[in-house]
Amino acid sequence: MVTFGADPQNWTDEELSWLKPFANTKVLGFGEAIHTSDGFYRAKVRIIKYLVQHHGYRAISFENPWGEALAATNFVERGEGTVKDALKGFLRVWRSTSVEELLLWLREWNQKNPGDKVRLFGNDTQQFQWDLDCLLKSSLIAEADKIKLRELMVKTFGEEVTRTRYGASETFKNLRKTDFADGQDRSSDIVKLLQSKKIPPNSLEENAQESLIAGVLFLAKQITGDAKDIAQLRGESFAHRDRCMSHFTVKFAGTDKTILWAHNWHIVRASEALAEGLFHQGQFLRKELGEGYKAIAISATHIKSNWPWLPPEFSGEAINQENSLEVELAAKHPQKSVFVESGKGFSAKNYAAGMAELKEGEDISAQFDGLLVLPESGPIEYAVDWNE
């Protein structure tokens, strides 16, 4: 266990020396207990700077639609556009002043080190509109197939979901309560059509093809799944998305050591509780990379967020259980950040906010290689208006 300063912005390199054992990890995941809570963002920004400067990490894989994130990719690598334009390529939960600071810092690093650049890319699939437009505009796909693809998408999911991010649509929120657009599941027909297209490897079209397949399977499972077991349904549907997120992280990273920015739920690397199937991005990464993937969850004793879409019980202030690990650590180390190594006997009775489900008595090391607990994490400051 390591204790250090409360404010991530003031962490010294010496205080971050606990990261040295992870210096040669191929993909190193950092989570957060909830989106739109700025302590988690500031912690990751400071950690990224340290790992880039001192341990040779040269890629950042972000939980964000890969195509829309190209605006941020191009801003960071080539200085194209403005930082506000780059932020608009992110999901709205990431459009914070902390992420803005990160983008500006990465751009400055690349300007000063043109032969040793750091790349940033998205790995998520939540962009029906982007993926579909990419394929419909491509000369690699026959016009008849383009017409058929769009027709199948609209008949299956409806016009609104087809033309938007599926995670950003009011229709999407109600899909579980309704049905497919015309009452028939044509997702398998969409997947077969997409898979039948021979597209050059590593092209934008191939990425869009893979992303759209994952998105279609994700949504179809949400609609057809057995609502009696919501946790299982959630896992099985998210598995399609998380498998693709893992694939894109490895594919886009190439040989670079990579930092993964995501929610604690996504970075989970293994758990006996989930032995029936792989649901999480981290599990797919662990399966492919073995010990080359590590995951560090981030939580806080006092958590506040300002995510407009969250229902009241999940927004505002999150109160940890009295016997939670966060509260226990705060009592022993007031106003300190604490890093807990895995395998130190912190079991499920000491539940940490935002983590995936643990079996009774299961140690946190079953899912993570460490846990970073902050004294507090407050709401983010938006750098771009939520409605833009």
Interval 97-116 mean pLDDT: 98
Q: Do 181 and 284 belong together in one domain?
A: no
Averaged pLDDT score across all residues of the chain: 87
**What pLDDT is recorded for position 119?**
99
DSSP 46-93: HHHHHHHHHH---EEEEEEETTTTHHHHHHHHH--S-HHHHHTTS-GG
Q: Which domain holds residue 116?
A: 2-124+257-377
Q: Is residue 382 part of a domain?
A: no
**Total tally of structural domains belonging to the chain:** 2
Q: Is residue 67 part of a domain?
A: yes
User: Residue 190 above 50 pLDDT?
Assistant: yes
Percentage of the chain exceeding pLDDT 70: 84
Q: Is the residue at 73 inside a domain?
A: yes
User: Does residue 278 sit in the same domain as residue 191?
Assistant: no
Residue 319 has pLDDT above 60, yes or no: no
Shared domain check, 112 and 10: yes
Same domain, 261 and 373: yes
- The SS3 of residue 232 is helix
Return the DSSP state at 131. Answer: H
289 and 340 both lie in a single domain: yes
Of residues 116 and 175, the one with the higher pLDDT is: 116
0.85 exceeded by pTM = yes
Length of the chain in residues, anyone? 388
pLDDT in tens, 81-103: 999 999 999 999 999 999 999 99
Which tens digits make up the pLDDT trace of 116-171? 999 999 999 989 999 999 999 999 999 999 999 999 999 998 888 888 776 555 55
Please indicate, yes or no, whether residues 204 and 284 belong to a single structural domain of this protein.
Answer: no
Task: Examine the pLDDT at 314 and tell me if it is beyond 90.
Answer: no
**For residue 287, what is the domain's CATH number?**
3.40.1660.10
Residue 25 has pLDDT above 80, yes or no: yes
Q: Where are the beta strands (DSSP E) in the chain?
A: 2-4, 27-30, 59-65, 119-124, 258-261, 293-305, 316-319, 337-341, 370-377
Q: Is 264's pLDDT higher than 50?
A: yes
Check residue 123 and report its DSSP letter: E
Same domain as 113, residue 135 = no
Q: Is 34 left (phi over 0), alpha (psi -120 to 50) or beta?
A: beta
State the pLDDT at residue 310: 64
How far is 38 from 315, CA to CA, in rounded Å? 13
Residue 153 forms part of a structural domain: yes
Which of 39-53, 164-178, 295-309, 358-372 tops mean pLDDT?
39-53
Query: Which of 242, 266, 297 lies at the terminal end of a domain, its last residue?
Result: 242
Res 116: pLDDT = 98
DSSP-derived secondary structure letter, 383: S
CA 47 remoteness from chain centre = 17
Residues 6+ apart with CB under 8 A from 319: none
With 50 as the cut, is the pLDDT of residue 275 above it? no
In a domain, 384, yes or no: no
| 341 or 210, which is more confident | 210
